[in-house]
Structure 1
């Protein structure tokens, strides 16, 4: 049986990424006075998916057919939207520049235009041809032919958020409120959990220290399964991103642009104000790294040459004047899919002091203002019934799972599938700059 929970209870959060920082902030705001976060790296961790220039954000609601799924999605979106618009920790980092959603193939267009997709009644403007797309941005930005493209443009209620600065802001406020961040490759690196009296009572770090706790919250993202048996409920999946350095004059022209996202080609957002780097991603259903232990995450600040080729092909369709520019930065970015892409936020049924906060499934970052509150609710065992059902521990859903399933994602011809990093040979990676570095697998 778990020890009684009160505001003096010792709480350890494993992982100082997006959800770990959010959870630390929400626990501190609720009045918990003994919260520690363990991570091998200070915030922002170089291997956290949240350590990024920007992420796409669309405010609004979900209109799916399933009533329970619709309720849960809208509850999450409502809480996240409130945070981005009102919470001083997060509000400065939301840029309401608008969003363009597009597709090329008949199958992807049908997916885009499904019930959950854009509509004129929700403020979306249809884009039917090259001229329509070019009119969404200042002259000289979109210079491509947009072959086969159709899409939608929403001027308000969408845009992007500065991911890294949001996560840093959450950690900074949590620390101000008393949360301890224990970081370092020895003192902060969790190597295992403490199993005691048929429960989990904390975590062990690489320096041999046993950190005992009344509650242990696992927020280790794609690496969570390396620390605890999640019964195949998570599939670590990686995506690829690259940056192009812009001139100060180009940065001015590209400022405040709407996000442009083709669901089978890729997306880009305006250059960041600090370094004038334009971020883009080639879109695909993801890479796994299949080993005997399943899909095993690793960190690398390079991307496969085939990914670089897809990025450049995407640029040739929309901004050919940038297609041959050298990349200034690139990395692979890991997330963890659940079988149905619903979050796994729950007390463990066998270890009552263990709280799970994992399974971002490619859409976890936009919830950083509020997700920690739901994880805290799970710890306090007061999640609403529909949320508790959706977020539950559910190993039965992994039985017979199609590991190659696309999970509702798309990619261009040749990459419209889940790919395997094991197929990428040593000489088939980019070699970008002296600053490029590789990091071993860590939480």
Structure 2
């Protein structure tokens, strides 16, 4: 699988069915406390719904796609204006909510895009959107790039763009903070595994929890990431796939540690491996992630072990692009499961056999940053205040 979703497809197989609305005060159960589920639960609660949030292993757990230390936040999505706009809203909500949480979650380091050719559609096609929102990028020649960031080897690059508005987010800490705020504002949180009950007459009758309890609601929002395809195999088994994505943390030289800690998030637009990284975060080391899709992975039973071939290639890239890290030791590693949709677009759709089951997923490795804006969108869609974007509606069988 060679999919890369820095810029998801702008043409999708969308659903033509209308999206139902649910009256204020309706009882909603949200299954999954990750970036999509947690934020949706919080905004549904704020919209006036009675909300229960359920998660098997807890928000930000090590199995989840919303785990690990950090995630990139950037607006650049090629020609996909809807994601640019969604991220602009997300940035505003991240800043607003971190003040409410009294916890720093967004770090505005900026994002460096390493471009190999004179034209780079992934970045170039977003420039008009950046200007529209007064979030312009800075074009850096190869000489300007090296002068400002001398740790970079740039001889094979044509230029770079610097987006001063992006950066990185705290990942697992964010999920936990959202859950805590959800409870503080009156939501109910349950730590348990969920099994859907029976579907009859276009309705799910209940869910069963691993603690033996049975819960009923007016509507069930399943936002359980990589597990969506397992919970609904006949509907999503061929739509949501989970891949093993490896992330490495390398130790930086002691004499330059402070420089790396303040280095921007970076993305290497080579059109092949699509490496990206977060050079510093709480002194955890120089993080590099591999965005090109890895092997099919089971998020429940899969071991979070290193694939030597993938690590070797990542080391070669680090030594090339950041020569001072040529012999840097590997100090930590992670596996970040991606829950992929076929075209990289989010999925926000009604279960074809149950009108009270709403499916939310398809983060595809780029969804985390959009969490608060997507949660707000879900809540407003439930209330009938907006129509969900067609690109998120997918025809399901």
Cα offsets for 1:381-411 (capped at 9, x unmatched): 4432xx3422223138xxxxxxxxxxxxxxx
Partner of 1:47 in structure 2?
A: 63
Residues 135 and 52 of structure 1: CA distance in aligned 2, closer, same or farther (over 3 Å): farther
User: Contact (CA 8 Å) 2:74, 2:87: kept in 1 or not?
Assistant: no
Q: Which residue of 2 aligns with 1:124?
A: 137
| Unmatched 5+ stretches in structure 1 | 290-294, 397-443
1:38 alignment partner, SS class:
strand
Query: Equivalent residue of 2:235, what SS?
Result: coil
- Counterparts of 2:335 and 2:252, CA distance in 1: 22
Match of 1:334 among 328, 332, 337: 337
SS in 1 for 2:227: helix
Whole-angstrom CA distance in 1 between matches of 2:383 and 2:138: 44
Residue 314 (structure 1) shift? 1.6
Secondary structure of 1:85's aligned partner: helix
Q: Do the aligned partners of 1:336 and 1:361 also contact (CA within 8 Å) in 2?
A: yes
1:380 aligned partner:
383
- Secondary structure of the corresponding residue to residue 330 of structure 1: strand
Q: Given the alignment, which residue of 217, 220, 231 partners 1:216?
A: 220
Contact 2:197–2:204 (8 Å) recurs in 1 = yes
Match of 1:393 in 2: 394
* Distance of 1:118 and 1:242 partners within structure 2: 34
Task: Tell me which stretches of 4 or more aligned residues in structure 1 moved more than 6 Å.
Answer: 118-122
Of 52, 56, 76, the match for 1:36: 52
User: 1:433: which partner in 2?
Assistant: none
SS in 1 for 2:337: strand
CA contact (8 A) 2:241 2:341 kept: yes
C-alpha deviation, 1:132, in angstroms = 3.4
Moved more, 74-83 or 49-58: 74-83
The residue number in structure 2 matching 1:79 is 89
Shift in CA distance, 125/8, structure 1 to aligned 2, threshold 3 Å? closer
- Alpha-carbon separation, structure 1, partners of 2:330 and 2:64: 21
Count of residues paired in the alignment: 367
2:262 & 2:213 partners in 1: Cα distance? 48
Describe the shift of the 1:323–1:230 C-alpha distance in structure 2 as closer, same or farther (beyond 3 A). Answer: farther
Q: 1:287 aligns with which of 277, 281, 294?
A: 294
**Which SS does the other structure have where 2:69 is aligned?**
coil
Per the alignment, residue 153 of structure 2 pairs with 145
Structure 2 stretches lacking a partner, 5+ long: 1-19
Deviation digits for residues 3-42 of structure 1 (CA, Å, limit 9, x no counterpart): 9945543321111111111112112222333x22222212
Distance 2:159 2:305 in 1: 31
SS at the partner of 1:133? helix
* Number of the residue aligned with 1:413: none
Aligned to 2:278: 269
1:101-155 deviation per Cα after TM superposition (whole angstroms, max 9, x unaligned) = 0144x5x9644454236999764333443x4333233x5xx1x533512332325
Kindly tell me: are residues 172 and 125 of structure 1, through their superposed partners in 2, closer, same or farther at Cα, counting changes over 3 Å?
A: same
Match of 1:16 among 33, 40, 43: 33
1:241 is paired with a residue whose SS is strand
Secondary structure of 1:353 counterpart = strand
Residue in 2 that maps onto 1:434: none
Structure 1 residue 134 and structure 2 residue 139: aligned?
no
Shift of 1:216: 0.8
Alignment of 1:156-195 (within 5 A): 156-183=164-191, 188-195=192-199
Structure 1 position 52, deviation (Å)? 2.3
Candidates 94, 105, 110, aligned match of 2:106: 94
Q: State the Cα deviation string for residues 319-340 of structure 1 (Å, max 9, x = none).
A: 2332333322212212222233
Note the C-alpha offset of 1:208.
3.8
Deviation at 1:261, TM superposition (A): 1.2
Alignment of 1:98-109 (within 5 A): 98-104=110-116
Is the 2:222–2:228 contact (alpha carbons within 8 Å) kept by the matching residues of 1? yes
CA offsets 1:333-373 (integer angstroms, 9 cap, x no match): 12222233221113334311111111112221111122112
Residue in structure 2 matched with residue 230 of structure 1 by the alignment: 235
- Equivalent of 1:27, from 44, 47, 59? 44
Distance 2:172 2:253 in 1: 22
Output aligned runs, 1:274-353, within 5 Å.
Answer: 275-284=283-292, 286-289=293-296, 296-298=298-300, 299-353=302-356
When residues 247 and 170 of structure 1 are mapped into structure 2, their CA distance, relative to the original with a 3 A threshold, is: farther
- TM-score relative to the length of structure 1: 0.73
- The 8 Å contact of residues 233 and 394 in structure 1, kept in 2 or not, is answered as no
Once the 2 structures are TM-superposed, how far is the Cα of residue 203 of structure 1 from its aligned partner? 2.0
* Distance in 1 of aligned mates of 2:21 and 2:126: 43
Paired position in structure 2 for 1:255: 261
> Higher relative CO (CA 8 A, sep ≥ 6), structure 1 or 2?
2
